[in-house]
Amino acid sequence: MHIASMVIRTRPEDIRGIETSLNAMTGVDVHAVTTDGRLVVTIEGTDRSTCGERLMAIHAIPRVLSAGLVYEQSDEESTETTS
């Protein structure tokens, strides 16, 4: 399990369209929307690469001005072996 949170910035007039795009993405949840154009979201995935793909997809949404990673947590088991 991998989880990340982001703050996304857009213009206030574009916020509903961005929110709709985010809600259509698997594993992405919108937790807060402000009137000045900020959205707080979490991304959940099975591994780091899945979350990374969603982060890149969020950056590619038209009219997203910025998307900053705030928190990241991974519960993946270590692949190291001991002898």
pLDDT of 75 reads 82
Amino acid in the structure at residue 56:
M
Encode 31-49 in three state secondary structure: EEECCCCEEEEEEEECCHH
Amino acid in the structure at residue 76:
E
The predicted-structure confidence for 1-51, as pLDDT tens digits, reads as follows: 899 999 999 999 999 999 999 999 999 999 999 999 999 999 998 888 888
User: Does domain 2-74 bear CATH number 3.30.70.920?
Assistant: yes
pLDDT band at residue 70, thresholds of 50, 70 and 90?
Answer: very high
List of E strands, the chain = 2-9, 28-33, 38-45, 66-74
